[in-house]
Amino acid sequence: MIRKVMIFNNLYAPYIIGGAEKSTQILAEGLLKCGLEVSVVTTCNKDYTDIVNGVKVYYVRVPNLYWVYECKRQSKLKKPFWHLIDSYNPFTGKIADILNKENPDIVHTNNLAGFSVSVWKLIKSRNIPIVHTLRDYYLLCPRAIMFNEKTLKNCEKQCLVCKFYSFPKKLLSNKVDAVVGVSKFILNKHLNFGYFKNALIKTYIYNPIVKRNNLPLNKNKSSKIRLGFVGLLSKQKGIEFLLEKFVNLNMENIELHIYGRGITPEYEKFLKDKFSKYPNIFFHGFKKDEKEIYKNIDILITPSLFNEPCARVVIEAMSYKIPVLASNKGSMSELIVPGKNGYIFDLEKSKDFRHKLVKLIELLKKDNICFDLRNFDVNFVIKKYLEIYNKVIS
C-alpha cells in the first residue's frame, strides 16, 4: 500500500495565479486527510520549508533567469533564454536532496514550468514511479496555451519553435508511468502528438471541487439578470469578445460584472477605458472571496477563444448553483450539459451567443437548472487518484 506521496507543481499557496494551483492544493490536502504522508515541492524566489494546512511544502529556488510567478514582469528579451533553460534544466541538486530526504513511494507531477522535465529523469533514476497530471499545454508549447494571439486562433500543429523547445519534454514523457488529463480533450491532445508512449495508464480525472455548505446563495431580488466573467482578462480568455458582444446585445435589465486582473496592467486599462463608460458594465478587479463573487452573479460567461484544458471557474460556478454559458472550445462540452446546467455557444456563428443566452435566461427564470457534480467531488477525485497510485506501484 502507498504511504508517502510527493507532489510537484510549479506554484503553490500562497503563490496562486489560476486554477491549477487551487486544484493541486485541494488534491494534496485531500490525500493528507486520507492518512497519507504528503509533501509538495514548488518553485519560489527563495528556499524555505513551510506547513500549509498540514501539508509540508518545500519552496525551491530553481536556477534560471527569473521565477515563473514573476514572468509577466520580465522583458521579451529574457523569455526565450528562460524557456531554453527550462526545456531541460540540469540544476536539480536541491530537488535530489529533497527526494533523498523524503524517499516517497510515488511522485505526482503537475505543471512543471520552472522545474523542467529534468525532474522526471531524476525521479526515475531512483526507481520511483511517476504519475503526471496534464493541466495545460506546457509540454507542447513554451507559452503553455497553443494559441496565436495575432490571429486569435488555436494552434492545430506545433510550430518549429514549439517543436524545438518541446523535444526534451516529448522524449522524457516516456519516463512517466501514468498520465492523467484534467479532461478527455487535453489527454487526447498530448497522446495524438505522440507523448507518454510508455505510460501504463492513460486516463482523465476532472478537477476537484470542495463541497459547498449553506447553499443556495442569496437569490437575486432585482429584475436585472447579472452576467459574470471570472478570471484573467486576456484575449485568449475571450474578455474582449464578451464585452463587444454584450455592448451590442440591446437587451434590457441585464448587467455584466467582471472579476479579475488584466494579463498586463496596460491591457486592463485599455478595457476599462473602452468599456467603463457603459452604465451596465462593472469592473470589480481581482476578488479572493469566491462566495462574494458568486452571490453577485446569476449566469457565468466563459467565452474562451483558446482550447480550455478544464476551466476550473466553470466547475466552481456550478458548485455555487450558477449556470454557465461557455464557448465551444476545448473541454467545455465535457463540463456543460445543454439545457441542464448551461449552454454552449459556437464562436464561429455570430448570432449564437445571443441565442443561447436568451435560452439560458429562460431556463433560469423557470428555475429548471440541474447540477450533477459527482465527477468533480473531491472525495471521488481522491479515490480515483489513489486507485492509479496503487496500480502503478503494484
* CATH superfamily to which 4-208+377-393 belongs: Glycogen Phosphorylase B; (3.40.50.2000)
* Confidence (pTM): 0.94
Which amino acid is residue 245, in one-letter code? K
Q: For position 218, what pLDDT does the model report? A: 54
pLDDT digits (tens, 9 = 90+) for 116-126: 999 999 999 99
Q: Does domain 225-373 have CATH number 3.40.640.10?
A: no
Residues in the chain: 394
pLDDT digits (tens, 9 = 90+) for 325-343: 999 999 999 999 999 999 9
- Render 264-302 in DSSP notation, one character per residue: SHHHHHHHHHHHTTSTTEEEEE--S-HHHHHTT-SEEEE
Domain boundaries defined on the chain: 4-208+377-393, 225-373
pLDDT band with cut points at 50, 70 and 90 for residue 215: low
Q: Is the pLDDT of residue 261 over 80?
A: yes
Q: Is the pLDDT of residue 213 over 70?
A: no
pLDDT digits (tens, 9 = 90+) for 237-260: 999 999 999 999 988 899 999 999
Q: Are the folds of 4-208+377-393 and 225-373 the same? A: yes
